[in-house]
Each structure stands twice: as structure tokens, then as C-alpha cells.
Amino acid sequence: MRDQSIPKVSSIPVIGSTLKMIGKNPRDFLLKQYHRLGPIFRLNVMHLNYIVIAGEKANQFASGEGVHLLKSNAFWKGMLHELEADNFLIGLDGPEHVMLRKIFRHNFSKNNVDAHLQAINDLCIQTFEDIRVGDSFEVVERILQLTSQMIGCVVTGEVPTREELEYFLFYINSITNHFALNRLPAWLLKFRGARFKKSKTLTFDFAERVIEKHLTGSSNLNNFVDAVIDAARNKCPHLFEHGDIRFSAILPLFAGIDTLGQTINYALFELHKNPEILALLKEEIRAVWSNKIPSSAELKDLKVLNSVILETLRLHPAAFGMVRTANQDFEFEGALVKKGEDVVVLTTATHFMEDYFKNPTVFDIDRYRAPRNEHRQINAFAPFGKGPHSCLGSGLAEALMGLALGSILYHYEFEHLDPNLKIKERINPTPSLGSKFKLKIVSK
């Protein structure tokens, strides 16, 4: 191996690049460093040191050699311990992780939405039913509530109330920021006081309620939670303490509410800034929804809708990278990464590169059609991550997003937004437009 020196991000002594990484857009900060320093560089955030790798070769590495050279356990360890779920799926590596993914894969299949098409359509209508024509409203919170209802409908069988959702998101965002992303030291959580304690209590109580329903058979569903209970009893009991089972009851909500919900928000935002694309999409939706609510398979035939989904995932990825730990020395782009070093794989850096996506800051659905097919370039499009820990529910997420957009836009018409409108996003931990994103209902 060549011990080539790895360039380091210039930073303020002691605190390093902390202010940039906990600021409003750490993704753009890291992209700037990639263009300035190259495909591998060092980053200091307070007491933590990271090696960042980015670009097409980084994505290739993550799904190739990196499968055996990078491990995820250290990233999730603190948060899973807080959740009392030390052995759970997302924190495991190697054969045990592969085994659990195989056990649970069918529970996250897009086909699972097909038994709930009418229920999901009704939820989408109800989301804006109380708003009068001509009134403006904040979009984000309503879509997050809708997302929790859709996931509950399909995957867990239980939907958090509005209050439970608020505290659930506060708790999950807090522990993700403090334990996994290390945007703030974990010891600061003790200063969160009563709200943090209440959030944890309500989250755990909600999870226990879900488990109880499945244990007693009163959920009337056979889904992911049942698969976890079966795995804990029969297939691999050594991997499941009670905390692991309890976390399973909220894992789909934990993984999906913010990521899927915010992606739907960004799609609505971009569509109403681009009236020509919106008109094409509405025409396609009307032709289908006027006859029936499409199944997951039929959704894939809607070319405009799928292009809108893909472009939203490209331009506004919910997770712009992943953190791993080197489990042995390895070389990347001529530089030596040593065992035990934390590595950030900036998987979506290619989404914003002219070499792969023409005019990358422009919302352009034509890039997914022949002859361009920009998303099919090898290792260029990675909205769901790379490697063995890539999103298990990506197909389900795309199906739910398609159903939500189709049902909402078929039943409601919103006023167009200024094409030049900019809303500063906040990453906490998922990118969000926050309370400033508003729409006005023109007709129902």
C-alpha cells in the first residue's frame, strides 16, 4: 500500500469543522470539499475524525471491496444501546445481517401495498379534507402524519396519534443526532429534560402496544412485526432480547416516516414550481385514477410519475451518505485508510456532478428517458445507499410515494409556486423544508 497523505479540510482549531457539519446543509459543505480536495479527504468534527470518500469509485468500492472492509456496527452501536436493542438488524454485519435481511425481505416488498390501496387513497384524501378552498397551509407536518399512517397501515398495523408522532420524531431525531451522526455529544441529552424523557416513554409504550396486538392476534395483520416475533422464537432467538423485538415494532416508522415523508414534500415542492411537469403528471394520473387505484405493478408503468420520483430522490436524497468503520487497513485512490478509522461514504455526491447528470441542480424528469437514461450509469445513482446495508424498503417506499402523489394530485389542485422560490432546508437529521413550505388549495 502507498502511504499517500490524505488532504485535510481546513478548520478552526479545537472545534474543527463542527459549525459547518451541524449547520443547515452539511451535504453541500462536503460536496465543496470533494471538488476542492478530491475523492478522499480528512474531516475533523470536535473530538471525532472522519475520512470522507466520494464519487463513482467510492460507490463502486462500497458495493464491492467495501462489503468486507467496512462495518456499520460502530455507527449504530450507541443509538441501539439507547434503544435497548443492541443486536438489531441495522447494527449487525456479516452472515447474521444477511440472514435477517433474507428473513424480512418479503415484509418490505412493494407488493404489500396492494391489499391496502383503498385505505391509502382514503388517507391521502383525509390529509387535506379539513382545509377550505382558497386557504394556505403548512405542508410538511401533514405529510409526515400521512406517511406514519401509510406505514402503519401496511407494515406495523398501528398508527401513532398526532401527539405520539410529534414525540416519536423528537426522540428518534435526538438520538440519531447525538448517538449516530454525532452532530452533538451524547451527554448533552441529559439537558433535554422532561421532553426527552416523555418522548422516550411514549415511543416505548407505542412499541409495546404494537407488540401486544401481534402477540394476541388482535392486529388482524401478518407483517414485519410477526416475522420478528417468529424469528425471535424459532429462527434465531440468540439475536433477540425484548428490546430488539420492541425496536422492531417501530423500525418501519423509524426508518420511513421522515425519509419517505420529506421526499414526498420535496416532490410536491418541485412539481408546483414546474407547472409543465405537473400538467404532464396530472394528465397521466387522471387517466389511471379515474378508472381504479393502481397496484404496485401498475404504478411502475406510469412513466411520468416514476421519473418524478427518481428525480426527487436524486435532487433531494434523504440520506446523502453513510458512516462505516474500517475493519482492516485498505487503500483507496492511492491513500491508506487504517483499521479503526471512521469512513463517510458520500454516496450521493455523483447526483450533483455534471459528468453524470446534466445541469444537476435543475429538476429535469427527461434525464430518466432514452436516450439519456442518466440514472442507469454504473454507480452514479444511489438514493438508497450502497452495499449490504442499502435500504431494505426501497421498493415499498417508491410504491407508497407513487400512491401518495397520485391520490393527492388526483383529488386536489394546489396553486403554483414561484419557479424561483428558494427555501433553506434544515437537516435534522433528514433534509426538510420545514414550516416555510406552504401550498394553497385551488379546488377539490
pLDDT in single tens digits along all 444 residues of the chain: 455 689 998 866 544 555 455 556 788 889 999 999 999 999 887 667 899 999 999 999 999 999 999 999 999 999 999 999 998 888 999 999 999 999 999 999 999 999 999 999 999 999 999 999 999 999 999 999 999 999 999 988 888 998 999 999 999 988 988 888 776 677 777 777 889 999 999 999 999 999 998 888 766 667 888 899 999 999 999 999 999 999 988 889 988 999 999 999 999 999 999 999 999 999 999 999 999 999 999 999 999 999 999 999 999 999 889 999 999 999 999 999 999 999 999 999 999 999 999 999 999 999 999 999 999 999 999 999 999 999 999 999 999 999 999 999 999 999 999 999 999 888 878 899 999 999 999 999
Which residues sit opposite 441 in a β-bridge? 414
Nearest to 429 by CA among 269, 255, 265, 267: 255
- Phi, psi (rounded to 5 degrees) for 43: -135, 130
Beta strands per DSSP E along 11-74: 40-45, 48-54, 70-71
The answer to whether residues 400 and 97 touch, using CB atoms and an 8 Å cutoff, is no
pLDDT at 217: 75
Q: Give the list of residues 6+ apart from residue 327 with CB closer than 8 angstroms, or none.
A: 68, 69, 70, 71, 339
Q: Give me the helices (H) in 217-348, please.
A: 224-230, 242-271, 275-289, 296-299, 303-315
Instruction: Kindly tell me the burial class for residue 173, based on how many C-beta atoms sit within 10 Å of its own C-beta (0-12, 13-18, 19 or more).
Output: middle
Check residue 14 and give its pLDDT: 45
- 3-class SS of residue 383: coil
How many beta carbons lie within 10 A of that of residue 185, not counting itself? 12
Q: Locate the DSSP E strands across 126-284.
A: 136-138
Determine contact, residues 98/378, Cβ cutoff 8 Å: no
CA distance 353 to 183: 26
Give yes or no for a contact between 406 and 289, defined as CB atoms under 8 angstroms apart: yes
Name the burial class of residue 423, with classes exposed (0-12), middle (13-18) and buried (19+) by CB atoms within 10 angstroms of its CB: middle
Q: Residue 387: which residues within 8 A CB-CB, separation 6 or more?
A: 62, 63, 66, 67, 70, 322
In this predicted structure, what is the pLDDT of residue 248? 86
- Joined together, the cell numbers standing for residue 167 give 414525540
Query: Three-class SS of residue 115?
Result: helix
Distance CA 298, CA 177 (A): 38
In angstroms, the CA 154 to CA 160 distance is: 14
Residue given cell 428525480 in the structure block: 311
What is the Cα–Cα distance from 383 to 390, expressed in whole angstroms?
9
Residue 383, preceding peptide bond in cis (omega within 30° of 0): no
Q: pTM of the prediction?
A: 0.94
- In this prediction, residue 213 carries a pLDDT of 87
CA dihedral angle for residue 402, residue 404, residue 408, residue 409, rounded to 10 degrees: -10
pLDDT of residue 1: 46
- Tell me, what's the pLDDT at 87? 87
Closest CA to 320 of 382, 251, 389: 382
All domains of the chain, ordered by start, with CATH? 18-443 (1.10.630.10)
